Amino acid sequence: MGSKGRPYRTLVVDGYEVLVGRGDEDNDALTFEIAEPHDLWMHVAGGTPGSHVIVRNPDRVEVPREVVERAAAAAAWYSKARGAARVEVHVCRVADVSKPRGAPAGLVQLARWKSVRVRPEVPGRPDPG
């Protein structure tokens, strides 16, 4: 079954389900309706437009760094920063993401986060070089 009609695409990284929003309204639905508080949330830093990316974490474990980096690379790929060599991506728990009152679709604020720097790429695609 494909993800047609869903507000996100689904990728799998080392057994972790990674959900990628398709647009501003879809990002909101993904972050605030679909994701669980203990899932990881990612988005490119610096106000660059891009998809919200969720790493499902049903077992509430420490998500391996490799999974975080590959999901962050997908967040960078599905953003306006796709052409950059390295992109900073904010990573936090969904519980630390909130919507400011009256904010437009897709705009959120973070209570706390970490940053990772990655090269934009889609997990599961062969490295072009």
One-letter amino acid of 115: S
pLDDT band at 124; cut points 50, 70, 90: low
20-44 pLDDT, tens per residue? 999 999 999 999 999 999 999 999 9
Report the predicted TM-score, pTM, of the whole model to 2 decimal places.
0.91
102: left (phi over 0), alpha (psi -120 to 50) or beta: left
